[in-house]
Amino acid sequence: MKTHTIIVDGYNVIYRVPRFKAQLDRSLQAGREALLRYCSEWKTRRRDIDRFYVEPVPLRARH
């Protein structure tokens, strides 16, 4: 079976997806952790994904 690597733009995902944007009320770090947890859980459900690369989100990022 062919496997794939998924590359995620962490900054844009956190600021545009409601489930992660809601974490910004706590902190940007909370948003990052929620995104990483989601990617990890999603990977376990998919047999064709071998890894995720989440582009780092600067802690001082502002939108």
The predicted pLDDT at position 58 comes to 64
The predicted pLDDT at position 59 comes to 59
- 36-47 pLDDT, tens digit per residue, is 999 889 888 888
What is the rounded distance in angstroms from the CA atom of residue 47 to the CA atom of residue 56? 25
Average pLDDT, stretch 21-29?
Answer: 93
Report the range of poorest mean pLDDT among 9-13, 38-42, 54-58: 54-58
Length of the chain equals: 63
Q: Where are the domains positioned within the chain?
A: 4-55
Average pLDDT, stretch 10-24?
Answer: 94
Q: How far is C-alpha 29 from the chain's CA centre?
A: 11
In 3-state terms, what secondary structure has residue 52? strand
The one-character DSSP state at 17 is S
